[in-house]
Amino acid sequence: MAEVVFKTKGVTKVYKTGEVEVYALGGVDLELFKGELTVLLGPSGSGKSTLLNILGGLDHATDGQVWFGNTELTDMSDRDLTKYRRDHVGFVFQFYNLVASLTARENVQLVTDVSPDPMPAEEALTLVGLGKRMDHFPSEMSGGEQQRVAIARAIAKRPQILLCDEPTGALDSTTGVQVLEVLRDINERFGTTTVVITHNAEIQRMAHRVIFFQDGKISETRVNKTRIAPSEIVW
């Protein structure tokens, strides 16, 4: 039995806007295992991003409990959550979120400067296939390249978990495939537990496990017996 990296029990998240209460998550029980590549699927507003944010220490659950290994995240202070993110979590977002005034290498160094056991920025960039474009600014790169810099930045700290929210959402099929290949490569090479949120149902076929969300709850969990390579994904 693989080691449990994340465990949630009855996690709910309620957003209050004025008088209205919106249930983003309505009691989610989930376990994620070490080295697993999981895809979260579901329509907009089904709660997948909310769960990802809670797992990543960006948001607090309204109710329920969340464990990272043996550590409970549920009531962690802001300072501890910052440390948790710094030491364990890598994020990849739809809109890259690179610092415009820093080159690719420097964007990665942002992380390597503060992590306890990082890989060299150059190595991280080479891993994502950008060894030759390290001194370019974001404005000098394509969307796919920028997203790969973001991935390099996320993995440079050797995180235990990589959380990706629509990593290919802003990309065309060719560059999207490149990005997915990098994600799979990282997952396999380092055994990093990877969670990918996507709207693209085809992407589920590269995952170990697929979790379907509907109205703030898990509606179905499916284990892929056979996985396909990103290059086989039809966009």
Partner 1 sequence: MHALDIKLLRDFKRLWVQAVAIAMVLACGVAILLTSVGMYNALSETRTAYYERNRFADIFAQAKRAPLSLLAEISRIDGVMSVEARITGAATLDIPGRTRTAVGRILSYPEDSDPLLNLPFLVKGRFPNPISTKEIVVNEPFAIANGFKLGDSFSANLRGQKRSLTIVGTALSPEFVYTIGPGALMPDNESFGIIWMPERAAAAAFDMTGAFNDVAIAVASGMTTAPVIDALDTLLEPFGGLGAYDRTAQQSDAFLDAELKQLKGMAAILPPIFFLISGFLVSMVMSRIITLERSEIGLLKAIGYSDIEICLHYLMLAALIAVVGVGVGWVAGTVLAQSLAGQYARFFDFPFLIFRVSYWVYAAAGLAALLTTSLGATQAALKAARLAPAIAMQPPAPPRFKRSFIDDALARMRLSQSTVMILRSLLRWPLRSFLTSLGLALAVASVVSSTFINDALTEIIDMAFYQTNRQDAMLLFTDDLPEAVLEDVRHLPGVLQAESQQFHAAILHNGHLTKRVAVESRRPGNDLSRVLDADGKPLDVPANGVVLSKRLATQLDLRPGEKVDIEFLTGRRETFSVTVTALVEQHFGLGAYMNLENLNALFRQAPRVSTVNITLDTDQSDALHVAVKNTPHIAGIIEMNENRRSFEHTIEENIVVMNTIYIVVAMLITIGVTYNAARIQLSERARELASLRILGFGRGEVSYILVGEMMLIALVAQPFGWLIGAGIAQLMTSAFTSDLYAIPLVLKPATFAFASLVVLGAAFASVMIVRRRLDRLDLVSVMKTRE
List residues binding partner 1 (CB under 8 A): 49, 53, 56, 58-59, 78-79, 82-83, 85-87, 89, 91, 93, 95, 97-103, 106-107, 109-111, 113-115, 135, 137-140, 153, 157, 165
Nearer to partner 1, 115 or 126 (CB): 115
What is the C-alpha separation between 154 and 103, in angstroms, rounded?
Answer: 15
Record the tokens describing residue 223, joined without a space: 């284990």
Q: Provide the minimum distance between the beta carbon of 102 and partner 1 in the complex, in angstroms, as a whole number.
A: 6
> Quick check: helix, strand or coil at residue 77?
coil
DSSP alpha helices (H): ranges in 75-170?
Answer: 78-88, 104-112, 121-127, 143-155
How do beta strands 209-214 and 37-41 pair? parallel
Smaller CB separation from partner 1, 113 or 202: 113
Residue 181 or 194 with smaller CB distance to partner 1: 194
Residue pair 149/130 in contact (Cβ under 8 Å)? The answer is yes
SS3 104: helix
Dist. CA 73–CA 71, nearest whole Å: 6
Strands 71-72 and 20-33: unpaired
Q: Is 126 helix (H, G, I), strand (E, B) or coil?
A: helix
Nearer to partner 1, 97 or 173 (CB): 97
Shortest distance, position 24 Cβ to partner 1, whole Å: 11
Smallest separation (angstroms) from partner 1 to the CB of 32: 19
Q: For the CB of residue 234, give the shortest distance to partner 1 in the complex, in Å.
A: 26
Smallest gap from residue 203 Cβ to partner 1 (A) = 20
Label residue 65 exposed, middle or buried (CB < 10 Å: 0-12, 13-18, 19+).
Answer: middle
* Shortest distance (Å) from residue 137 CB to partner 1: 4
Q: Which is nearer to partner 1, 114 or 201 (CB)?
A: 114
Q: At closest approach, how far in Å is the CB of 23 from partner 1? A: 17
Nearer to partner 1, 2 or 114 (CB): 114
Cβ closest to partner 1, residue 59 vs residue 123:
59
Q: Do 114 and 86 form a contact (C-beta atoms < 8 A)?
A: yes
Beta partners for residue 26, in sequence order: 12
